Structure 1
Amino acid sequence: MTATILSEVALPGLPSASGVEIIGPTAYVIGDDPAALHCLDAATLAPTARRQLFDGPANGPFRIPKPEKPDLECMAAVCWADGRPGLLLLGSGSRPNRARGWFVPTDTASAVPEPLDLTPLYALLAPLLPAGAVFNLEAAAASDTELLLFQRTVGRADAALLFRLPLEATVAFLGGAATVPIVKVLPFELPAIAGCPAGFSGATFVDELLFVTASVENTTDAVLDGDVLGSFIGLVNLDTQRAAFALLAWHDGRAYRGKVEGLAVRRVVGARHWELLLVTDDDAGGSTAVVAEISLE
């Protein structure tokens, strides 16, 4: 498996990108600390619109201060309980104020994003972590039947977890249903760079395959950032609970030193060959869009 960068461009006015999802011609991008969901043309990466999520400037590079931000890290395309298509946005949960989320309908641009209290859901997941691990969701992906949520635990190799939840029951639970969804937990061994283990940072399904990103920071703190050492693209086998990873690199073989936060499939190039759109966060308010080719040959 190889992961090769084709191009990288800055995303001005879009701070701290943390996730991307492509639906039709639109690439939707969330960030750790902006107040809006950003919309890009998936082909040209030009900005097309912003969807205000909560009170705060929707335009420009304004960043919500770290202690106050909802820390939106997870996004997945889902159908809501009433059948509406849309995007499920989830905060990381690493602090009490980060247990917030939104359902954003995508069938019409005028639909108002609907806030969600994620506290009941996170109360189900947090006790399933290994002792001493800080709850910190960093990625999500949805199939027709399941919602997958990825725990990123920095500084230790034994707490990279995938939570598998039934999609319909979980969406109903988020909407206020009393029935509690059944949670399955899968631990994964992730690669390391210079002795620092990677942590999950993005996920997406394509052709019934689950691709993930995992980035490496030299830190042991779930809230404070550390030096970024590189990023991996991985292919996860849910049946065997194993994953294969490739270090993201430039064409000349140089390892990419940015922190990839999310990925989406831009197009299928051929058999076992895809073009992906990645988004990155430099932890200083800057974001980029990276186009990369992934080959399983």
Structure 2
Amino acid sequence: MHSTTLEVFAEIDGIGSASGLFLHEDLLYIIGDNSGYLNEYNIKTKKLRKIQILFDQTLDQLENIPKPLKPDFEILCQHGDKLYILGSGSTPKRNLMIEFDLKMQKVFQKDLTETYSLLKSISIIDDQNFNLEGAIFTGNEWMLFNRGNGIDAKNGIFNIQGADLTKTKHAGFNPFKLPNIDHVESSFTDAVLVKNEIFFIATAEDTKSTYADGEILGSFIGSINLQTLKLTFSNKISAKHKFEGITLLNQGEYSTTFLLCEDRDSEELKTVIYKLILNH
């Protein structure tokens, strides 16, 4: 049996619609789904640095890109010295991947349109139900988490062998059933690998659209066995928050602590980072 404690970790001005995060030593990297910046927040000094990752927008638009044009960066994951920022693929304008080299501080852009088309084809997920919200990269394998908040409720995990996502030729898809609230199935919003366990967050949102927002009914944390891809446990952690990003803060003998970010679906440039303690 697991128990959880949720508390505020930090409040940060200057970031809106936070959708993914990754902690590297004292630096917390945060993306927003409607922003052309990668945010670097020092949790000790509380200083915020903005790193421009998009260059085809005017500077005044970069902080709050209009919904029809936004890249919908829902995924931030890491391997080695690189951060990977992926669009959700829920519209044709959301197929971009950004690689950010932490050592060289350089930005590389890649187009995932062909890969996303292949994933839709092998999983029989149409454009209205394709919505990637989490990823794990091990260096030679990708796991991409589809959020089943479309009308078909297609939660699932894509497995892709190989390091270069733009050269994907084969992929597997594992449909996944998640807990529900008031007959609304929750759907993946992010995931992180801790040793041999996949920890995920999921939200029950009363909508049948990957584009339009709905009423938030609650959020869960859970884990999936890496080898079997079977659900190990799930715990409801909030009745009102829509958590969209998870990263490991620390792990001890009796507890694992994560940081979470929340997308409040507003244009206010302020975000709250939460600390979630999971007792084993």
Please report the TM-score for the alignment, with normalisation by the length of structure 1.
Answer: 0.85
In structure 2, the partner of 1:259 is 242
* 1:176-200 Cα deviation digits (max 9, x unpaired): x5xx443121111101111111110
Is residue 32–residue 73 contact of structure 1 (8 Å, CA) maintained in 2? yes
* Structure 1 runs not aligned, ≥5 long: 80-84, 249-254
Pairing of 1:143-158 with structure 2 (within 5 A): 143-154=138-149
* CA distance 1:69–1:241, shift in 2 (3 Å): same
Q: Indicate whether 1:210 and 2:198 are aligned.
A: yes
- Indicate the RMSD between aligned Cα atoms, in angstroms: 2.2
Aligned equivalent of 2:172, options 184, 207, 214 = 184
Aligned equivalent of 1:87, options 80, 83, 86 = 83
Aligned equivalent of 1:124, options 118, 126, 131 = 118
Residue 8 of structure 1, CA deviation: 5.0
The one-letter code sitting in structure 2 at the alignment partner of 1:20 is L
Residue 62 of structure 1, CA deviation: 3.3
Residue 26 of structure 1, CA deviation: 1.2
Residue 207 of structure 1, CA deviation: 2.3
Pairing of 1:156-167 with structure 2 (within 5 A): 159-166=154-161
In structure 2, the partner of 1:100 is 96
In structure 1, the partner of 2:260 is 278
* Structure 2 runs not aligned, ≥5 long: none
Instruction: Give the whole-Å Cα distance in 2 for the aligned partners of 1:96 and 1:159.
Output: 19
In structure 2, the partner of 1:251 is none
Matched position secondary structure for 2:106: coil
Instruction: Give the whole-Å Cα distance in 2 for the aligned partners of 1:105 and 1:58.
Output: 22
Is residue 151–residue 161 contact of structure 1 (8 Å, CA) maintained in 2? yes
Q: Indicate whether 1:225 and 2:213 are aligned.
A: yes
Matched position secondary structure for 1:185: strand
* 1:197-228 Cα deviation digits (max 9, x unpaired): 11100111112321111011110011000111
- Residues 231-240 or 214-223, more deviating: 231-240
The one-letter code sitting in structure 2 at the alignment partner of 1:160 is N
Is residue 26–residue 44 contact of structure 2 (8 Å, CA) maintained in 1? no
Pairing of 1:36-47 with structure 2 (within 5 A): 36-41=37-42, 43-44=43-44, 46-47=46-47
Is residue 37–residue 62 contact of structure 2 (8 Å, CA) maintained in 1? no
* CA distance 1:30–1:138, shift in 2 (3 Å): same
Instruction: Give the whole-Å Cα distance in 2 for the aligned partners of 1:59 and 1:211.
Output: 37
Instruction: Give the whole-Å Cα distance in 2 for the aligned partners of 1:223 and 1:74.
Output: 16
Q: Indicate whether 1:35 and 2:36 are aligned.
A: yes
Is residue 148–residue 187 contact of structure 2 (8 Å, CA) maintained in 1? yes
Matched residue count: 274
The one-letter code sitting in structure 1 at the alignment partner of 2:30 is V
* 1:240-279 Cα deviation digits (max 9, x unpaired): 332221111xxxxxx44110001001112x2251111000
Query: Identity, % of aligned pairs?
Result: 28
Is residue 36–residue 62 contact of structure 2 (8 Å, CA) maintained in 1? no
Instruction: Give the whole-Å Cα distance in 2 for the aligned partners of 1:2 and 1:223.
Output: 33
Instruction: Give the whole-Å Cα distance in 2 for the aligned partners of 1:123 and 1:23.
Output: 32
